[in-house]
Amino acid sequence: MLHQRVLGVTAVVSLALCSYCAESSASEVGADSPAVDGLFTEWDKPGSPGCALAVGQDGASIYTRGYGYANLDYGIPVTPQTVFDVGSVTKQFTAASLSMLALEGKLSLDDDVRRWLPELPQYDSSITLRHMLHHTSGLRDYLNLFPLAGRGDYYPISHPQILAMMARQRALIFAPGEQYEYSNTAYMLLAQVVERAGGQSLGEMARSRIFEPLGMVDSVMYDDVEAIIPRRATGYDHGEEGRWRVVHNYNFDVVGDGQLYTTMVDLLRWDQFLHGKDKPAIHPLMLTEGYLNDGEAIGYAQGIVLDEYRGLRTVGHSGSSWGFRTQLLRFVEPGLTIAISCNDGSADPGTLTRRVADLMLVDRLGPVAEKAKTEGLAPAASLAQFDISPAGLTELAGTYFSPELDAIYRFSVVGEQLLVRIEQEHPLEVVAVGEDRFEIRFGEQGLSGPQTASLEFMREPTGAVAGFSLSSGTERGIVFDKR
């Protein structure tokens, strides 16, 4: 078996915030379980990225293992002390920092966000910090907006740039509180609220008030692109012909919605602090479920998904980043927590955590739910190509500008094909799907960029083209004017 057995000593950590004894992250814990290890066979072999597993029971690590490799260039194996980018698992740390400030009276979760970020537009309805925590704010997602503006995954951005982008948005996806729509933008803006209300950055606050007191010695908010992170894993995904390729993005060092780098053992420490017997003052705030304006519960608290599995109540969150996938899941009543992170972008830690639970909670879990039947469902309809005359295409050519994206789209006709060049990017194919309606096909856009976008050209009463409206995913109705 490839997974590494690293000798270490058990360290007793005295905490100001909670009492918790945890094994050193350098050691693998627990007698070998072939059944559990067998779940990771796909990665537990030479030449493969891998996964780290940590299982905790009422504050004690009971099973920690590493499978596969953290770095394929140098053949460095995954161990329990390997540091992963855990993506959106970060959100509960952002929420915790905000909740600490709320308990200290430095802000209220019902504050209008414009109290702290007056640069944002005044919409018809106020957006509160609570809306943002619960993903009911209606804010457009910056991870879609920046690629639509010609700035993909590897374009360096900052908190001020994100705030400036959102300050230009003329509309919301929906009125605050009307719907639940997962929003990375909300948590990026909340990180800036933490800094303005608390007087220190999210990274500084997390380090001084969470990581250091809890003994999370291998945890850091990645807010400095030049920082060295010992034992950091490299993210991978399958490239051509099934070969592994590096997909990390160390250029992205803006924290809030993600960018927590940590070990699975450190996540157990955090999870036990938040959900263990001696619960902190922030616990009631963190676990308060969100509701829509009509009273419908959304199953989401503050960076924490409230759910159940086979009859047992669970709290947790998943995370996805460049070549990384993570799941932190606690079964509340048994007090069992499972943390898994993989540096394989196609891995499914959510399923893996449930399979580990199937083995470790076999006497506590209820029957397996029947899968919903999908037979007979019609396939999704695709947009058929619509024929446009060469003259019709030519009148669409030209330069268009969007104040909301601060971006220029240049349309040209090459042969019988309409192409668009977004800022300095390579030209993209534009396919007609109806009268004055087209689809841009982006192809691969990295972690979160759009695959397609639809646009509809607008005309003056004379019939002249005045501009177009762009929509992609949840971002709809972004207006471009023809220059």
Chain segment 110-131, per-residue pLDDT in tens:
999 999 999 999 999 999 999 9
The rounded distance, in Å, linking the Cα atoms of 454 and 363 is 51
Give the strand pairing for 475-482 and 398-402.
Answer: antiparallel
**In this model, does residue 444 exceed pLDDT 90?**
no
The closest alpha carbon to 47, from 79, 85, 81, 74, belongs to 74
- For 315-359, the pLDDT digits (tens) are 999 999 989 999 999 999 999 999 999 999 999 999 999 999 999
Same domain, 185 and 325: yes
The closest alpha carbon to 478, from 453, 441, 449, belongs to 453
| Higher per-residue pLDDT: 225 or 445 | 225
pLDDT class for 252, splitting at 50, 70, 90?
confident
Same domain, 204 and 319: yes
Same domain, 191 and 274: yes
Enumerate residues 6+ apart whose C-beta is below 8 A from 294.
Answer: none
- Beta-sheet strands, E only, within 322-416: 324-331, 336-342, 398-402, 407-414
Structural domain boundaries, residue 407: 390-482
Task: Collapse the DSSP code of 195 into the 3-class scheme (helix H, G, I; strand E, B; otherwise coil) and give the result.
Answer: helix
pLDDT computed for residue 449 by the predictor: 61
pLDDT class for 377, splitting at 50, 70, 90?
very low
> Is 14 part of any domain?
no
pLDDT computed for residue 239 by the predictor: 78
Whole-number percent of the chain with pLDDT over 70: 89
| Mean of pLDDT values over 210-215 | 98
> Is 380 part of any domain?
no
Give the side-chain half-sphere CA count within 13 A for 42.
Answer: 10
Same domain, 324 and 427: no
Residue that terminates a domain, selected from 338, 360, 382 = 360
Task: Name the domain count of the chain.
Answer: 2
Highest average pLDDT, of 25-29, 373-377, 454-458, comes from 454-458
pLDDT computed for residue 250 by the predictor: 66
> Is 21 part of any domain?
no
Same domain, 206 and 337: yes
Same domain, 298 and 418: no
> Is 60 part of any domain?
no
**What is the average pLDDT value for the chain, to the nearest integer?**
89
CATH code of 474's domain: 2.40.128.50
> Is 167 part of any domain?
no
| Mean of pLDDT values over 304-325 | 96
| Mean of pLDDT values over 285-298 | 97
The rounded distance, in Å, linking the Cα atoms of 162 and 403 is 15
- Neighbouring CB atoms inside 10 A of 71's CB total 18
pLDDT class for 416, splitting at 50, 70, 90?
confident
Same domain, 347 and 411: no
Overall size of the chain counted in residues? 483
| Mean of pLDDT values over 197-217 | 97
Say if CB 37 and CB 44 are below 8 A apart.
Answer: yes
Helix axes 184-198, 91-103, angle to 10 degrees: 40
Say if CB 66 and CB 50 are below 8 A apart.
Answer: yes
Same domain, 346 and 433: no
Which 8-state DSSP code applies to residue 113?
G
Same domain, 283 and 409: no
Six token digits for residue 333: 């009543």
pLDDT computed for residue 27 by the predictor: 73
pLDDT computed for residue 11 by the predictor: 27
The 10 Å CB-count burial string (b at 16+, else e) for 319-346 is bbbbbbbbbbbbbeebbbbbbbbbbbbe
> Is 52 part of any domain?
no
pLDDT class for 153, splitting at 50, 70, 90?
low
Same domain, 305 and 189: yes
Same domain, 338 and 408: no
pLDDT computed for residue 380 by the predictor: 38
pLDDT computed for residue 251 by the predictor: 75
| Burial of 205 (C-beta count, 10 Å sphere; 0-12/13-18/19+) | buried
**In this model, does residue 70 exceed pLDDT 80?**
yes
The closest alpha carbon to 128, from 148, 146, 108, belongs to 108
- Backbone angles phi and psi of 63, in degrees to 5: -155, 115
- Backbone angles phi and psi of 70, in degrees to 5: -80, -30
**In this model, does residue 99 exceed pLDDT 80?**
yes
Residue that terminates a domain, selected from 360, 382, 404 = 360
> Is 54 part of any domain?
no
- For 381-397, the pLDDT digits (tens) are 444 457 788 889 999 99
The closest alpha carbon to 403, from 147, 170, 189, belongs to 170
CATH code of 335's domain: 3.40.710.10
- For 18-40, the pLDDT digits (tens) are 333 333 334 789 889 999 999 99
Same domain, 421 and 339: no
> Is 312 part of any domain?
yes
The rounded distance, in Å, linking the Cα atoms of 43 and 342 is 9
pLDDT class for 17, splitting at 50, 70, 90?
very low
pLDDT computed for residue 474 by the predictor: 86
